[in-house]
Structure 1
């Protein structure tokens, strides 16, 4: 049988044909099978084509309360030859701005998705439904994903069908996903991490149980109680929440959990070691990448226990190098800008050729905003971001180093560090640390500063420590440093 092009949607068709009755995604207590998902995607395709959708048209799809609605609309868009633009449903104004920026032909918000699947789709057995449509080729754009905008204006990252297939293939190869896997997904489906888990399940023929984030840890605990669950995908803060609110249940599930995939945000080395001790039999996998080059590195907490300060080694087919600001390669062990070559690389930024050009070197590498170093074993260690570095009297401070030192202190649940102008006018900038603490910790800023003094160099020590109730983060767990700066400005004016 001809499987068609090497794309994710081709894998969905293959599984619908070969494993049609196998469960794919949970809808409450009911399972949507691969055959049902393929039928739904073909019906969405028909609905879009009746609205004169042309190849390359943009379809904005908001994450729905019903995960299978979102997934069927996503693959139906691909089958129609259109470009999927996934967005978060809870940010209606932001979704409308994305629709305007991409000149979307269709905007499927939650209400539109509900109406579509409640009755607007043609019946499953309607004779006009083509259940064997032409499949997209690897080269055309499949998705436009907008970056979180935590450090500036969100950019629309264009990813080809080939790129998203390559990222999923590399992830499955590292984790070892197969059709026997049933995974609890706690990350938003409309973001790069969540979309990656959908694609990985399609390629592997596995199944997904989607829960609405870690805001409701009890739902995650309930999902993990299913004896058929073999995997969990989570951001580092999500794992920390599970350890606090469902430690016993997570420990019970650990006897069955074959793997956990972590990503989207940094994780302190000690927390990696702690999790490895807590889950000694579970394969703990963490990926590093960006929306522009997903899943570029992988780390296995148990297998790479001597290199847990790193983010792992490059995925198959991925090349990394460290350069100075003029793109000159640096020697092993030297710190500089991380540059990537990957089959999962973006095709460019939506309607922004100038920024796209700025991300490419003359010899074809993708520049990142991350700073790091490579060791002689090929392991990559992150040392900060170009735009986050704090300049204290000419000495550079990586805010992540300050945050991880704070997180090692008992009672501190989360931390965020930003650089602000030195009020004394002596050093240019100083670090300011925000912390979220456990209610019963008896937190005192002076005591915290004394403990940090033993862990940090003098120029790295925060000039101020501010306790806040919750740390501002994106849905994918990334720290919103700009919001911390705004909070500081408001506090200083009060």
Structure 2
């Protein structure tokens, strides 16, 4: 195929990247630790660890996993941490021990966590103790045999560590009671590991690095097998994209999006390790005043986020006072960037808000606007180096430029397939090897990609994907529900939120009951914000399939007020 987008690459961006430059993420990490040993690597709540310190702690953690936990190459370790200093130590320690990382959202319900631990076969887990009560409820039903817990302040200096941990547990009451027999602490593990040998593990580009869970194109949660080669390719692609503006060993990137989400995982953690940057970790990005205060402490050169985060920053009166003269790039992904937000960001900071496109199955980034694009383009930009994109009809036949169809992707960042799901893996790949993304769009004459719709009815809440099937399954478990359709409702802050359209079996059923049920079974951003009851059956196709989009259209403007004001904790 003709890569028409190459003619619009800025000077200095090559059409291909060297995907063989590194054999694994561990090689990227260890090289940077040697090269930038004295440089600050990660900071959190005023505490900073250097590359040398991260190197040492990850080595000690890897030795502990090998020698004390008897974990071997290819075993899975779940990591259930927010953006804290323990996260990079756990991830890079796991790789040094040859393990596969399974990222878990700390806000998972017991049901969601149990599924992921069982499906992945994880035998160990690192968990912040704030969320250990969730693990306690399900661990007996999972393969997990090793639990390593940590407190938020564990990597802080002694007095600060005591103050932070004491306040969280006894003043703010943010650590529910929990008890798991045999659980170890991360600090104890590191102390023990420091005296243990680390057995070298050979990793190749074909070895799996992450099982990154996603609903794919069907909504059934499954693990995308992202290899070391996939992840290295994507960080090389991102590096090529920003290389004209960024310099090694001097950058400061702010990371408000959770590292367990594949966007921040690659774009922030892995890419900026490669650049020897300081990564400023934000544990709670919903606390905008605190985030603004953090931004005022250190001149930062890059920040990633979603449209809702950038909009919230712009609304905060303190943000306009932040010195953003060092800022080179803000990168928005996970959901569409709105024109008004993009233009206001540029006017306020003097730096562009770059929009990109990706999906978990692509490690995740596929395309992006360039740093030369100083204004809002209304597109997700050009395909990255070493990436091919085509637009196809329902028969996988490539369509002419300007025609809307399904976006297909081919490149070194495309996953190996879904973990233990051969049928799903076969379904998502076309016969000639291209990945069917499930997203609809078109490519213009310049090679820019415009997203127009989603092939499936996925809902995107502040950049997080919500799959209607999962919400509907929970709602249908209520005996008072006859039918339900989960659809996207527009929201000023989150872009979209979940709305359920319900046909009642029990006329007395209330919206409050359904929202309470969903709160028990679903992560906060998946909980419906709106409930619409209807007396007639939901619209269906000729084969009986509920037509969600028609249900949404028929319910527009008729959102029930009962229960709709409830705000999920993790939105």
TM-score (norm 2): 0.68
Alignment pair present for 1:194 and 2:264: yes
| Shift in alpha-carbon separation, 1:318–1:304, aligned structure 2, 3 A | farther
Q: Distance in 1 between matches of 2:393 and 2:207?
A: 33
* Contact 2:59–2:93 (8 Å) recurs in 1: yes
Q: Which runs of 5+ in 2 are unaligned?
A: 1-19, 130-147, 151-183, 460-486, 503-533, 542-546
- Out of 59, 76, 81, the position equivalent to 2:93 is 76
CA 1:284 to 1:473, structure 2 compared with 1: closer, same or farther past 3 Å? farther
Deviation of 1:215 after TM superposition, in Å, equals 1.4
User: Which one scores higher on RCO, CA 8 angstroms, separation ≥ 6?
Assistant: 2
Verify: 1:329 aligned to 2:423, yes or no: no
Q: Per the alignment, in what secondary structure is the counterpart of residue 72 of structure 2?
A: coil
- Tell me the C-alpha RMSD between the 2 structures: 3.3
Would the alpha carbon gap of residues 125 and 83 (structure 1) be closer, same or farther in structure 2, given more than 3 Å must change? closer
State how far apart, in whole Å, the 2-side matches of 1:361 and 1:470 are: 42
Give the 5 Å matches for 1:27-38.
27-38=44-55
Would the alpha carbon gap of residues 123 and 427 (structure 1) be closer, same or farther in structure 2, given more than 3 Å must change?
A: closer
1:342 pairs, out of 398, 408, 411, with 411
Aligned counterpart for 2:325 among listed residues 245, 248, 255: 255
Structure 1 residues not aligned, in runs of 5+: 391-398, 435-458, 476-494
Question: Which of residues 312, 319, 327 in structure 1 aligns to 2:388?
Answer: 319
2:116 to 76, 81, 98: 98
Map of 1:233 onto structure 2: 304
User: Does 224-233 or 312-321 show the bigger shift?
Assistant: 224-233
Distance in 1, matches of 2:415 and 2:216, equals 17
- Cα drift, residue 413 of structure 1: 7.4
- How many residue pairs match? The answer is 428
Distance 1:367 1:4 in 2: 28
**Residues 249 and 304 of structure 1: is their aligned pair in 2 closer, same or farther, counting only changes over 3 Å?**
closer
Q: Deviations over 1:135-154 (max 9, x none)?
A: 52211000001116897221
Whether the aligned pair in 2 keeps the contact of 1:310 and 1:379 (CA below 8 Å) is: yes
2:73 is aligned with 1:55: yes
Taking the aligned partners of 1:189 and 1:137, their CA distance within structure 2 comes to 23
Contact 1:5 1:136 in 2 (8 A): no
Question: What are the residue-to-residue correspondences of 1:75-474 with 2, within 5 Å?
Answer: 75-91=92-108, 93=110, 94-111=112-129, 112-114=148-150, 115-122=184-191, 126=195, 128-130=196-198, 133-147=200-214, 152-176=219-243, 177=246, 178-196=248-266, 197-246=268-317, 248-250=318-320, 252-279=322-349, 281-293=350-362, 294-300=364-370, 303=373, 305=375, 308-388=377-457, 403=490, 414-416=495-497, 462=556, 464=558, 468-469=564-565
Tell me the residue number matched to 1:484. none
User: Structure 2: how far apart are the matches of 1:139 and 1:313?
Assistant: 27
Determine the C-alpha separation between the residues in 1 that align with 2:373 and 2:114. Answer: 45
Aligned counterpart, 2:171: none
User: How many Å separate the matches in 2 of 1:250 and 1:288?
Assistant: 28
What is the aligned partner in structure 1 of residue 36 from structure 2? 19
Higher mean alpha-carbon deviation, 165-174 vs 419-428, is at 419-428
Distance in 2 separating the partners of 1:150 and 1:370: 9
Correspondence for 2:10:
none
Q: CA 1:108 to 1:183, structure 2 compared with 1: closer, same or farther past 3 Å?
A: same
